[in-house]
Amino acid sequence: MKNVIYYGAPGVGKTYLLQKLRTEYSEFIINDDNVKNIHRNEGKEWLTVATIIIKNNNKLDSTKITEKLAELKINLGNSVSSILKKYSNKKDPILGNKEPRLFEEIDTMWSVNLDKFKEKEERIYNAYFLKGNNKRYEFITFHQSFTYEDFIEGIKPNIKDGNVGYCIEDGILKRLCREASKFPHQRYALFIDEINRGNISEIFGEVISLIESDKRKGEKNELRVTLPYSKEEFAIPNNVDIYGTMNSCDKSIANIDIALRRRFEFIRLKSESDIIKNVLSNIGIDSNNVDGIDVVKLLETINNRIELLLDDNYQIGHAYFTNVKKFEDIKDIIVKKIVPLLEEYFFDDLEKVQIVLNDLTEDGDLDDNAIYCHEILESSSLIRYLPDNIIDDKKRFYINEKIEPNSIIKIYE
C-alpha cells in the first residue's frame, strides 16, 4: 500500500503526475468484438492499435500487440512498431510523425495518452470506453470548506415531498473503502490535490490513525474506530493507496499536521529543464533557440535568482514553458504568469521582481529593455503641505507594454 505526498514548486507537474497515476487504477472492459467493430467501422490503424493497448490495462509491448492482431485476424498493412513510432509523442526522424501523437513508450511498454484519445475520438470513447470504465479511484481537491462530513460521514438534509428530514451520508473516503473491501485483490486509490489547503485534523478526524500501513484492515496491528454518526466500526482496507500533492511555496504548508507527515512518504518534484528540451524537441523545436531565446537558460537563470533571494521551494516549474513555440508565447508566460507569481513572492519588496528579471543596471537604474518598470511618485509634487517631510517618495511598478525579444534575452545574458 502507498501513502505518498508529492510536493514541489508551481509547475513541476504534481497534478499531472496524479492524472497519469489514475490509469493504474482504471480498467476498460472492451471485448474482442468491440475491437473488431472499431477497426471495421473506422479503418484507422492508430485507433485499432490504441484500442488493443487500452483494452490491456493501457500497457502493452509491440510483440503482444502484434500477437493480438493476429489472433483477431486484423491486418493493418503496416507493422505495429512503425505505427507506434509514427503516432508517438517522441519525434521520429526516419518515419516522421503524424497526429494524433498519443502513444507513449516507457521501458519497451506502450501506453495511450487518454486525454488526447478522448480529444481526438470523443464519439468512440463515449460509445465503447466510457461505459466499460472500471474506475477504482476518487479524485478530490482539499480546500478550506472541505470537512469531515465530506470526507468520512455526516448528517445531511434530505427533502422529500416538501418535508425536510436528515440522514447520515457517507463521505468520499468511506465510499471508496467500502468498494475496496468488496474486491480485496484489486487496488484502489484516493487522489488528494492540494492536500495542505484543508484543515487536516478536522477532515481526517480519528481516521488519521487508520491510514498507517500496519494499522490497515487485515494487517497485524489492524485498528478500527467507531464513527460518531453511524456508530459503525470502520477500518481502511490495505488495498487502498492514498496520494496527495502539496505546493511547497504555499503558506498553508506550515499547517500540515505532524501526524500526517509521519504517516506519508514525501517525494519532492523539482523543476527539470531537460523535460523542456525533450518535449519541445519532440515537436521539432529547439529549446535553446525559440525565436532567438534560450528557454532552458531563461528558466534556469530565473530559478537561480529566486533561490538566492528566497529558497528553492519558490522556483518556477518547467511546465510553464513546455508549450512555447514562438516569442509571443514566451512573452505571454512572462507577463501573465511569471511576473504575477513573482509579485506574490515579493509583495513587500517589488524591486526584487526587477532583480530576478535583470531589469536594473549596475547603478540601480532602469534598463532600456526592462520588463518590470517603475516610476517615481514624488511627494513634493503631489502634496502641497509636507510637515517635516514625513511622506517619502514612492515607486509605482508596472509591466512594460513594449517587450521585445531582447527584453527577455537580457534576463540571462
- Report which of 70, 201, 185 is spatially closest to residue 146, judged by C-alpha positions: 201
Amino acid at 273: S
Is pTM, for the whole model, over 0.85? no
pLDDT of residue 251: 55
**DSSP string over 35-93:** HHHHHHHH--HHHHHHHHHHHTTT-B-HHHHHHHHHHTT---SS-HHHHHHHTBSS--T
Distance CA 331, CA 298 (A): 12
Question: Grid cell 480485496 — which residue?
Answer: 184
Residues 6 or more apart whose Cβ sits within 8 Å of residue 116: 100, 101, 102
Given a contact cutoff of 8 angstroms between Cβ atoms, the answer to whether 397 and 372 are in contact is yes
Determine contact, residues 267/5, Cβ cutoff 8 Å: yes
Can you tell me the distance from the alpha carbon of 180 to that of 151, in angstroms, rounded to the nearest whole number? 16
Beta strands in 218-274, from DSSP E residues, in sequence order: 225-226, 233-234, 240-247, 265-268
272: CB partners within 8 A, 6+ apart: 12, 318
pLDDT of residue 245: 93
Of 188, 218, 211, 189, residue with least CA distance to 264: 211
Whether the Cβ atoms of residue 412 and residue 293 lie closer than 8 Å to each other: no
User: How do residues 318-361 score in pLDDT, each as one tens digit?
Assistant: 999 999 999 999 999 999 999 999 999 999 999 999 999 999 99
Contact of 3 with 263, CB cutoff 8 Å:
yes
Give me the amino acid identity at 22: R
Distance CA 231, CA 355 (A): 59
Q: What is the pLDDT of residue 20?
A: 83
- All cell numbers assigned to 13: 507537474
Amino acid at 154: G
303-323 tens-digit pLDDT: 999 999 998 889 999 999 999
**Cα distance between residue 228 and residue 206, in whole Å:** 10
pLDDT for the residue numbered 133: 66
Under 8 Å CB-to-CB from 285, ≥6 apart: which residues? 324, 325
CA-CA distance, 57 to 24, in Å (whole number)?
8
Round to whole Å and give the CA distance between 355 and 41. 60
Query: Biggest alpha carbon distance in the chain?
Result: 93
C-alpha neighbours within 13 Å on the C-beta side of residue 387:
0
CB 238 within 8 A of CB 211: no
**C-alpha cell recorded at residue 3:** 501513502
Residues in the chain with pLDDT values less than 50: none
Which amino acid, one-letter code, is at 37?
N
Collapse the DSSP code of 236 into the 3-class scheme (helix H, G, I; strand E, B; otherwise coil) and give the result. coil
